[in-house]
Chains A and B, each alone.
Chain A
């Protein structure tokens, strides 16, 4: 047995284990740093860098220093820079492959700090802003100068003209159709032939009563056959007449629609070349839409990036079940006596160092399994000693305890926010900025089972609008700019509905009324004159075209009359046939009676002989 034991092997094992643990511990900090940078970069889509990672064994903890997260849209700017992150883990739970942290502190958090090197990663394609957004908010102010109607009518395709063309095509098609169809219908020769045949049908009487009766029956049958043929011809004529009537009605309706179409053309051209004051009533959307869309986009972008980490949704779990990575297998979960999520940070205390002052907050229950924990993620940030904000409260609740019934809510209450040099519109034709103002902003948003519903209400006072004037600004821009200069208080409301990917933003403001009023009578009068001229010219043009079409319709009246006269002819033929049949039937009845009388007479003679 002694031969089987190799004691130096035990020593070698101990040395191997110690060496392995030592090497692992030696490189652990470097490995952790690399893992954080790699995972973070993958997640954000721009460089995530860590200054240093320190590990402590007893108690088991991690300390991260100088974490920089690049803003993917601005590679020379860090979206977030964190001075220090400190956390301690439950050692026993870590052996059970669970990361449980009672408290984590995140200190010296700064936003939008400058980077010394670019944080762009080569593989990540830069996403172009969607064209929809650009089109939506890139606007040019209309001019109050009256555009030339003649020029407009030359370059614009009118809907009424297109309708005339379509109507003409329809008329031509109908003409071709009826030119082909008319010869196929029964004509005068057909009815003349019937008349000839009718005349020729006369029963030949021989004096033999039996034969006479047979001749009468044959004549009636012949008449009935002709009647049937004429009825079939009449059917053809009737259906043709009906079809023609329908075609003509359609063509008439087309012409009627053409006469009504100028009003549509006028409305469209007015909107395009001379938007009315009501057309500019949604100017608040144009002014604040870009800002609201930008910030809602930023918020949703970060939500999409962080949600898979902070909240493990049911869908991501399902996809893991489907895809089994090669050589990794699947970890099957069993019932635990004291269930705990795989990852949990019970409390995260965050201190932000912003330009205008410090802000503190706490995020509770960051976990991968809210279903197991039974508590939602909640957060609360507040500040009341900031330079440009009187009071700020930002709170939220991400509830995914029941994945099929998830609700995420956020609330922001900002009081006394001092706005300075805020660019309202970057448009060259409308360079408006808010030099200074004080705003109270209330925001509330809810994402319930993927359905987004958010509202923002802002009350602005002590506003000081500035319109930079240059050669490109139009007269109307100056009028609106002057009107806005007098505005000291206003409100802006924005409602957002839809989903994270596809949503609609509705923006309204009482600035709309100010703009509308500023446009005043001068705009209205010019618009009216333009509309009248446009109306006059378009109507003249379309009237001539419709008259031409109407004259072409007259040809179809002739076809209708032709069909009607043939129908009359056929009906008359049928009538005369019916009269003749009645006459033959009477004659046949009389002959039959006479035959019976003769038979009776013969029988009586035999009886009294």
Chain B
């Protein structure tokens, strides 16, 4: 738990640009929410590796959103069922169903469809909000925290120096 928190703080406080962190977290939201062995996740992993996003943030987000995704399973199923059974969208589903790539994607599975749609809908708002929050954090909160005397004392303490040398956190 402490390590996770430390990792999270390390990501927040790193030199990485906020957009790189928020994009990585948004990609991890898709991989975490949707079933791992899905065709679209291969594309997401390709994007994560090719686009310069923060990989640590991606892995951190993946472990976080996998847990949340498991809890939201019934919601994804219900939503996927609702979308796939929608009469007006039936011609689209029929044409996709007859395409090999889309069948491999398993779009007709209620959880795949539900989780993918929800994570795609959340993607852009999530990037924007996370980006804004990160910028705010770094410009105001982080500086304020660093100015507090007790934090400076702790940071300079021997214990923290030893911990940093052992775990690599904050180095």
Contact = CB atoms under 8 A, between A and B. Distances in A.
Interface of A: 3-7, 9-10, 12-13, 16-17, 92, 95-97, 324, 326-337
Contact of B85 (A12, A16, A332): A332
Contacts of A95: 100, 103-104
Given A9-B50, A16-B45, A96-B103, A330 B97 contact: no
5 contacts: A324-B77, A324-B110, A329-B111, A333-B108, A334-B90
Interface of B: 35, 42, 45-46, 48-52, 70, 73, 76-77, 80-81, 84-85, 90, 93-94, 97-98, 100, 103-104, 106, 108-112, 114
Contact of B94 (A4, A327, A331, A334): A334
B84 A329 contact: no
Contacts of A6: 49-52
Given A92-B100, A334-B97, A5 B106 contact: no
Given A328-B111, A333-B97, 15 more contacts: A3-B52, A7-B50, A9-B49, A10-B46, A10-B50, A95-B103, A96-B100, A326-B73, A327-B35, A330-B77, A330-B81, A330-B109, A332-B81, A334-B93, A334-B94
B49 A331 contact: no
Contacts of B106: 97, 331
Nearest to A93: B100
Contacts of A333: 97, 108
A332 B108 contact: yes
B70 A327 contact: yes
A331 B94 CA distance: 13
B37 to A, nearest CB: 10
Contacts of A331: 106, 108-110
A3 B50 CA distance: 11
A332 B83 CA distance: 11
A3 B81 CA distance: 41
Contacts, number: 80
A9 B45 CA distance: 10
A331 B109 CA distance: 4
Which 3 pairs across A and B sit closest by C-beta, in order of nearness?
A329-B111, A9-B49, A334-B97
A334 B35 CA distance: 21
Contacts of B110: 324, 329-332
Contacts of A3: 52
A5 B108 contact: no
Contacts of B73: 326-327
B94 A335 contact: yes
Contacts of B35: 327
Nearest to A20: B42
A335 B70 contact: no
Nearest to B102: A96
A329 B51 contact: no
A92 B103 CA distance: 11
A445 to B, nearest CB: 39
Contacts of A12: 49
A16 B49 CA distance: 11
A334 B77 CA distance: 17
A337 B49 contact: no
Nearest to B108: A332
Given A4-B52, A5-B50, A6-B52, A329 B109 contact: yes
Nearest to A328: B111
A9 B109 CA distance: 31
B74 to A, nearest CB: 8
Nearest to A334: B97
Residue among A4, A92, A324, A332 having the largest count of chain B Cβ atoms under 10 Å:
A332
A302 B86 CA distance: 42
Contact of A327 (B46, B90, B93, B111): B111
